Structure 1
Amino acid sequence: MLATLSDSTMWVALFQIVIINILLSGDNAVIIALACRSLPPKDQRNAFLIGTVAIVLLMTGLTAVASYLLTIPYVEVVGAILLLWIGIKLLIPEDEDAELNASDNFWGAVKTIIIADIVMSLDNVLGMAGAANGHMGLLFVGMVITIPLILFGSAMLMRLMERFPIIVTLGAGLLGYVAGEMAVEDPALKGFIANAHYLEIALPILGVLIVIGFGKLLASRQTPALSTEA
């Protein structure tokens, strides 16, 4: 055990995992903040914790199969479509009568956090897996270390969203951009995109426009209905 702790290679790998995870966790913090912004403060904290811990556990397991999944045609296209829908959904206002379905809202936020982060993390875990060099325990420890950083970033974004609602739109747009990037990287589209390089830029931008456009459209249709009920 002491020999392991004194192994400089292990500490370098752990440092690399933490740095990679910090750099790649910006979108994770955005998702957590967006999904939890309408919950009561107590539920926000619980959803932060449950969602983040679940992400760490699932990403550790996902690392073992991520490199294989990314070679399967249309896996990233399906993930991109799912991410587009999540981004659109996050722009739609929830029913004001939250007390009747507080439990549903809470677990719905947790589910959104986990699904979106798993979809977005397929590429991310490959970088961390490379740094861990096959050591799953090291990968797990590295991600656990970054939990407080992800939670702090999410809490800070939540406060900013309350003061500046435009950040909600920008966050949802970010998910659309990530969805477009995922579609570009799908093996099934590689050959086609190789002959049309402009799609590498066009698809992420299209993702932003789809999320914000459809999200705002559906939100505008739902807002009058909520006002009428009130």
Structure 2
Amino acid sequence: MNLADPIIWIALMEIIWVNILLSGDNAVVIALAARSLPPKQQRAAILGGSGAAIVLRVVLTLFAVQMLQYPFLKLIGAVLLLWMGVQLLAGNEGDGDITASSSPGAAIRTILVADLVMSLDNVIAVAAAADSAPLEARIPLLIAGLGLSIPLIIFGSTMLLRLMERFPIIITVGAALLGFVAAEMGMTDPSVSDWVHLHLHNLEIPIRLFCAAAVVVVGQQLAKRQEAGQRADEQTV
């Protein structure tokens, strides 16, 4: 693995950024599941649940990287990434049904199950980011990227959430990054990569930028519609 290759460092930064950005909900789940425990048990539940979730996520991501080598799966993954980026800006929340647990063991189980369900988007996005790196560097990059981002999620989740609330541009840039990665992922699918390289070679960057911009525009429009709907509901109450 050539560490002087800028593609490797770009892929590493994408892995870390995408994983942190998409793990905000997971951090909220951890806090909700452990909120009723005494402080010492809270720390045990958070560390135990997060540790188990990290192992699970690494395994799932390794499988995802291998699966993306099959035809058409990258195209499906690209569509999912575009949808994730739009939803990120639309602001759909799904954590309200996570109940507090009465023991560290129950909290760890809650965190693990919730993280398994909610980490599917992380797994696809991180695998897509790693896919842009040279083949021999993908596994080391995944391990390094996840290893660097997980501590930030566990110990800095509150700060990250506050920063995202204070500077919404962080969310917008993250959504655009998902659109950019989605286009890159789709164009490298084995079923279309040769055709893309032959006919769209000079348009690959513009297509990626277009997808990034499209995610932002569509996501913002959906967010505005949701806000208008909420205001209308409040006025009718």
Normalising by structure 2, report the TM-score.
Answer: 0.64
Match of 1:84 in 2: 82
Per-residue CA shift, 1:9-30, capped at 9, x if unaligned?
xxxxxxxxxx999643221001
Alignment map for 1:137-148 (pairs within 5 Å): 147-148=150-151
Q: For 1:84 and 1:52, how far apart are their aligned partners in 2?
A: 29
How far did 1:53 drift? 4.7
- Match of residue 26, structure 1, among 8, 17, 20: 17
Distance apart, 1:183 and its partner CA: 1.1
Give the 3-state SS of the residue equivalent to 2:90 in structure 1. coil
1:112-134 CA distances to partner (integer Å, 9 max, x unpaired)? 751222112335386353689xx
Q: Please state if 1:120 is matched with 2:125.
A: yes
Q: CA RMSD in A?
A: 4.1
TM-score by length of 1: 0.66
Distance 1:20 1:173 in 2: 16
In structure 1, give the amino acid aligned to 2:53.
Answer: A
CA contact (8 A) 2:20 2:152 kept: no
Which residue of the other structure, out of 161, 177, 197, is the alignment partner of 2:180? 177
The whole-number CA distance in structure 1 between the counterparts of 2:64 and 2:115 is: 23
Q: In structure 2, what residue type is equivalent to 1:121?
A: V
Q: Distance in 2 between matches of 1:65 and 1:215?
A: 26
Look up the equivalent residue of 1:179 and give its one-letter code: A
- Please tell me whether the aligned partners of residues 79 and 119 of structure 1 are also in contact (alpha carbons under 8 angstroms): yes
Question: Aligned partner of 2:161: which letter?
Answer: M
Counterpart CA distance in 2 for 1:85 and 1:186 is 18
- What is the aligned partner in structure 1 of residue 62 from structure 2? 63
Give the equivalent residue in structure 2 for 1:5.
none
Match of 1:224 in 2: 228
Moved more, 184-193 or 154-163: 154-163
The one of 39, 53, 71 equivalent to 1:73 is: 71
- Matched-pair contact (CA < 8 Å) for 1:51–1:113: no
One-letter code aligned to 1:26? W
Kindly tell me: are residues 64 and 153 of structure 1, through their superposed partners in 2, closer, same or farther at Cα, counting changes over 3 Å? same
The answer to whether the Cα contact below 8 Å between 1:89 and 1:215 also exists between their aligned partners in 2 is yes
Pair 1:192–1:170, CA change in 2 (3 A):
same
Structure 2 unaligned blocks of 5 or more = 1-8, 36-45, 100-109
* 2:139 matches 1:129: yes
Amino acid paired to 1:42: A
**In structure 2, how many angstroms separate the alpha carbons of the residues matched to 1:112 and 1:147?**
17
Paired residues of 1:83 and 1:119 also in contact (CA < 8 A): yes
Q: Secondary structure at the match of 1:103?
A: coil
Contact 1:59 1:121 in 2 (8 A): no
Q: Percent identity?
A: 31
